[in-house]
Structure 1
Amino acid sequence: MNSVSMSLVSIRIITTDVGRLMAFYERVTGMAAIRYTDDFAELVTPACTLAIGSARTVQMFGAGVARPADNHTAIIEFRVADVDKAFQDLGDVLGDSLVQSPTTMPWGNRSLLFRDPDGNLVNFFTPVSAEAIQRLER
């Protein structure tokens, strides 16, 4: 397959409560989700779509292929205009889910790390160094 013809278009999280998880993502992003069924919804951004599917949907792929609230490797990342302002705006939402308040990382991003209601890591970041800004221009 030619990699030039391939694009990452979606990340899907499997959960036992689509409504609760999508309401969280709507709140933290300020974007409205598209709810197709009780088992499937999407948050469409200009770069990629965050899909939320119920545990019932993975039965269509085969038993045990994905387990809700069991992610220990991936971080869901959103580029935001001002991570410090996002942190202020979300103070009442983050509570115990805060992992790291805004911190400038060695690769030039200022990052806010927290967990969603299922425990998935979420990173809101703003490129702040000239190199990071240039790297993320598309």
Structure 2
Amino acid sequence: MTVSIASLHILVDDPDAALAFYQDTLGFTKLFEAENGGYRWITLGVPSQPEIQIVLEQPHGGRSQENGDALAALLAKGELQMIQLKTDDLDETFEKIAAAPGAEVLQEPTDQPWGQRDAAFRDPAGNLVRIAQR
């Protein structure tokens, strides 16, 4: 039996801002978009890992008002789970992120004590993202 990762979901409050960031800044490719009840799901991929998809979704999409409100509140506080990415060129990627509308730099590229070189930022929705040198 083999189990693998198919998709990761990232909550966003503004799908257009999130799409611009993940597509235009980080280079992900838009694969599919769906809308239901006024909420959107945008599926992204990356050519180097076609088997893994990222889905940008809104807190209230497919959820009760109460649960959507709870997730939206956590998103607004930046309290959701961290997203970890890798890049071939951390310095170049960091420069793109630092110049991107809505991104907030938290840590410039730094050599970590555990041997990894990484940077940290918040995406336009406030999600904590760490990106490491591959």
TM-score by length of 2: 0.75
Q: CA RMSD in A?
A: 2.6
Residue 75 in structure 1 maps to residue 82 in structure 2? yes
The one-letter amino acid of 1:44's match is: G
- Secondary structure of the structure 1 residue equivalent to 2:22: helix
The aligned runs of 1:125-136 (5 Å cut-off) are 125-127=132-134
Is the 2:102–2:123 contact (alpha carbons within 8 Å) kept by the matching residues of 1?
Answer: no
Instruction: Measure the CA separation in 1 of the matches of 2:112 and 2:121.
Output: 15
Q: CA deviation at 1:6?
A: 2.1
| Higher RCO (Cα < 8 Å, 6 or more apart) | 2
Residue 64 in structure 1 maps to residue 57 in structure 2? no
Larger gyration radius, structure 1 or structure 2:
1
Instruction: Measure the CA separation in 2 of the matches of 1:96 and 1:5.
Output: 37
Q: CA deviation at 1:51?
A: 0.7
Give the aligned partner of residue 111 of structure 2.
104
Structure 1 runs of 4+ aligned residues shifted over 3 Å read none
Residue 12 in structure 1 maps to residue 9 in structure 2? yes
Instruction: Measure the CA separation in 1 of the matches of 2:99 and 2:19.
Output: 17
Distance 1:54 1:125, change over 3 A: same
User: Structure 1: any 5+ residue segments left out of the alignment?
Assistant: 128-138
The one-letter amino acid of 2:18's match is: L
Instruction: Measure the CA separation in 1 of the matches of 2:66 and 2:3.
Output: 28
Instruction: Measure the CA separation in 1 of the matches of 2:103 and 2:56.
Output: 22
Aligned partner of 1:21 among 18, 23, 26: 18
Give the aligned partner of residue 99 of structure 2.
92
Give the aligned partner of residue 43 of structure 2.
42
Is the 1:43–1:50 contact (alpha carbons within 8 Å) kept by the matching residues of 2?
Answer: yes
Is the 2:18–2:123 contact (alpha carbons within 8 Å) kept by the matching residues of 1?
Answer: yes
Task: Tell me how many residue pairs correspond in the alignment.
Answer: 123
TM-score by length of 1: 0.73
Q: CA deviation at 1:56?
A: 3.7
Instruction: Measure the CA separation in 2 of the matches of 1:17 and 1:86.
Output: 22
Give the aligned partner of residue 116 of structure 1.
123
Instruction: Measure the CA separation in 2 of the matches of 1:35 and 1:63.
Output: 28
Instruction: Measure the CA separation in 2 of the matches of 1:81 and 1:29.
Output: 12
